[in-house]
Each structure stands twice: as C-alpha cells, then as structure tokens.
A = this chain, B = another copy of it.
Amino acid sequence: MTSALQMVQMIRDGETTSVALVTAALDRIAETDAALKAWVWVDRDGALAQAAAMDQLRQSGRAMGALHGVPIGLKDIIDTADMPTECGSVALAGRKPEHDAILVSRLRAAGAVILGKTATTPFAFMDPAATRNPHNLEYSPGGSSAGSAAAVAAGHIPVAIGTQTNGSVIRPASFCGVYGFKPSAGMVPRTGVLRTSETLDQVGVFARYYEDVALVGDVISEFDPADPSSFCRPRPNLLKGVSSEPPIEPNFVWFEMPYFDKLSDDSREGMMAVIDALGGQVEKLDAEGSFSGLVEAQNIIQYYEIARNLAEIREQHNDKLSPQVAKLLAHGATISDEAYQEAVGLRHGAISYFQSFFNDFDAIITPAAPGEAPLFSDGVTGNPIFSTVWTLCGLPCLTVPVLMSKNEMPIGVQLVGGAEEDDRLLRTGSWLLAELNKNQNEPEEPAQN
C-alpha cells in the first residue's frame, strides 16, 4: 500500500497509472469485502472509466490535480449524483441524489476516483452497521463512519471521507488503527451531506498515512455560502502544516475528565506512557469544573436538531427506522426549546473558553476512545464520549494510531487544536509522531503502527 501523496507522484512520474491503482483497489475489495462489509456500493465500471480519464489527462500533458487518479471512498450519507446515497437506512433504499455534494465535486475536480460508498450506521447514529473490524473480524469498526474507517484499515483505499456529529470519525479511526482527522467546524462544505445536526455535523478524513489527512483536507476545504457554519475566511494550508517544524517544542495539556472512569486499563496505561515519553511538555489539569454539563449539552443539541431534521422521514417511514434512531427521534422531539437554548448557551461559553486557551497550549492530548473496539457481537459502536466536548466546540481533532490493546487491537491517541488552527494541529501531530518514533525501541514505549 502506498500513500495517496505517493500515488499522485507515481502517476505523474509514469511509474504507474490510475487504472492500475484503481484495478488493484477494486480487486482487494472483491477479495475481502464479502467478510468485511465496508462497502455498500462499488461502481467498478464508473471508477475504471474515471481512472482512464485521469490517465488520459496525464498523458496529454494536461494539469494534474492534488488527488489525480487516487481511489477514494465516501461515507454513504454524502450525496453522489452517479451512485445511490441511502444513509444506511432501508427508509432511504434506492435514493438517488440529483447532485454531488460540494465536497464530492471538489474531490472529482482534484482528480480523485470515487470507487463507491462506504457503510454508515443508519442516519449516522448509534445502531451498528454490518461492517467488521479489519484487524480482527470479531470486533466492531465503531461508528458511524464504519465503512470508511474499515476500508482504509483493510488497505482497500488510502483515504476515505467520513463525518462526525459526536465521535464518528475519531472513534472508528482509533478502533481500526488508522489516522483520523476532523477539521475545524466550518472548514469543509456540508451542502449535499445528510443534515442531522446543523450545529454539530462535521466532515472528516481517514487515512493510512499521516500526510494524506492533510492532502485530502486541503482539497475539501472551501467556503460554502449555503452552509450556515461555513466561514468566509482563508483556510490554513494543511500539507504545509504537516511538513512544518514547530518553532519551539509544542506543549500539551491533559484534562482529567469526569468520564475518564470509562477508560480501559490498557488505554490509560498507554496514554500515560505517551505522556511520559513527552516529558515536561504535558501539563495536567483538572477539567471537572469547566466541562461539567458539556456532554449533556452536546446530546441535547444533537437530539433536538436531528429530530427536527428527520421529522419528515419519521412521519413517512417510522416502521423502517432502526431501533436507536426511532428512539432518538421520539426523544429528540420532546426536548424543549428552552433546554435546547440553554445547551446552545453552554456551547457558546465553551467555545469562548477555548478561544484564548490555545495561546498557551498547542494541543489537548486525550484518548480517542475508551479503549479497543467493542466486540461485533456486543451490537454497539462504542462510546463517543471522548470526542463529545471537542465536537461540540468545533475544534479540529486528530487521532494517531500509536497504541495497542492487550488483545492486539489498535488504540488511538487524540490531539485537539484551536479553532481554524488546523495547520498548527497537524504540525503538532507531526512532532508527536517523530518524538514517539525516537523512543520506538525502548520497551516501555507504546507500540507504533
């Protein structure tokens, strides 16, 4: 497997073709996806035609895009005009969007070859998808971006797109042992992406190689006037962030959160080993005071908004909804405007708190998930709570696959940065990876992926 960045370079240099890369990806999918179930739709002919078109452009000396000829997958809540988009629900079986989501147009115009749609939990909520974890099929890949995480982890494709309203990029990336990156809220256009929560829905990227989260992030970052959370300001250059040296050693903060009793022993031990490896660069703070109520505020906003956004689907297809979605929509509809407004107020307070916070710290270092993935047979996608507060505040989040559970399942370490400072977060991530790499062979240190 090669990184997307390398693939483009190899196509540019004539060392391979998009058709060869896409064919290999389709073959890997054909071999393993019957068991893995990462994909709900694969457009073999369309992808090969698109790959041939990208090769033709290259041969004729035309401009090449940042993702020229690279095979990629999209979570199936992201609209595609040439493939169904069913949002993981039988309620939307056969749904064919008229238009590509804006981020899909961006990917296509950058030369990416969209192989198909990856499995999502129904309406990107908590009922599991059919997808298994590529590291061990007995485990869940997490959710809601289950198929995107699994397809990348299985080596089908170097990169995939997912979304996160609570912890749906960071958690499955952690469980599947890949890089996960959710840019700042408002960075990526959401027009054409299923709206569950206008306040909280955020797009993210899965990748096997670190630099690829930046490569794809740069392509899909753009102002979208039709998206109320999109900001009309210059976007940071993420690839430059990845390859930058910090001016001084970055410093981190570790918040001891009230929900850290949910952390598994091996996950806590691994996190502490990472923090030890970073030596004096990590300050430990107690967060109970400032963060109490934020998890509930996130839940209230998400449930209130999704109940309203999916009200029509509930009316028309209530019998076709999965159990947790049905319960969620019923519950969300009962949340009062007052409770919602109070939660929105708490969110604004938390956003203000973090506005100056990152003057002192480069990143928050925190678990990506409670520990290893849950067993598939448990019928759950894992607890998103380790992402909740950061998603609520729209901060950019990154998980890097550097820990391993006792059962040899991957565990990620999450870094959280300042709003719209995504380049700085990725710079800090590069530094962290290099630092941990230095200590790779010492026995106390966490395993590297």
Hey, which bits of chain A sit against chain B, CB under 8 A? 57, 61-66, 68, 99-100, 105-106, 108-111, 222-223, 225, 232-237, 420-421, 423
Kindly state the separation between the CA atoms of A225 and B237 in the bound complex, as whole angstroms. 25
CA distance A99 to B235 in the complex (A): 21
Q: What's the minimum C-beta distance from A430 to chain B, rounded to whole angstroms?
A: 17
Pick the contact of A423 from B63, B65, B225 — CB < 8 Å?
B63
CA of A57 to CA of B366, assembled, Å: 28
Would B223 and A105 count as touching, CB distance under 8 A? yes
- Report the minimum CB–CB distance from A97 to chain B (whole Å): 12
A109, B63: Cβ atoms closer than 8 Å: no
Measured in the bound complex, the distance between the Cα atoms of B61 and A421 in whole Å is 9
Partner of A225, one of B99, B225, B235: B99
The smallest beta-carbon distance between A341 and chain B, in angstroms, is 28
Question: CA separation between A311 and B234, bound complex, in Å?
Answer: 39
A223 to B236, CA, bound (A): 21
A236 and B63 contact, CB distance less than 8 A: yes
Chain B residues near A223 (CB-CB < 8 A): 105-106, 108-109
Q: List 27 A-B contacts (CB under 8 A).
A: A61-B421, A62-B233, A62-B234, A62-B236, A62-B420, A63-B233, A63-B234, A63-B236, A63-B420, A65-B233, A65-B234, A65-B235, A66-B234, A68-B234, A99-B225, A100-B225, A105-B225, A105-B232, A108-B223, A108-B232, A109-B222, A109-B223, A109-B234, A109-B235, A110-B234, A111-B233, A111-B234
Given A63-B235, A63-B237, 7 extra CB contacts under 8 A: A62-B420, A63-B236, A65-B235, A99-B225, A108-B232, A109-B223, A111-B233
Residue in contact with A57 in the complex, picked from B57, B65, B99, B234, CB distance below 8 Å:
B234
State in angstroms the CA–CA spacing of A110 and B99 once bound together. 26
Q: Report whether B62 and A421 are in contact in the complex, using a CB–CB cutoff of 8 Å.
A: yes
Task: Find the B residue at minimum CB distance from A225.
Answer: B105
Chain B residues within an 8 Å CB radius of A68: 234
Bound Cα distance from A274 to B61, whole angstroms: 29
Q: How far is the CA of A64 from the CA of B111 in the complex (A)?
A: 26
Closest to A422 in B: B63
Residues of B within 8 A of A237 (CB): 63
**From A419, which residue of chain B is reached at the shortest CB distance?**
B62
The 5 nearest A-B residue pairs measured at CB? A65-B234, A109-B223, A63-B236, A63-B234, A111-B234
Contacts of A57 in B (CB 8 A): 233-234
Of B106, B109, B232, B420, which is within 8 A of A233 by CB?
B109
Candidate in A57, A63, A65 with the most chain B CB atoms within 10 angstroms: A63
Q: How far is the CA of A348 from the CA of B18 in the complex (A)?
A: 30
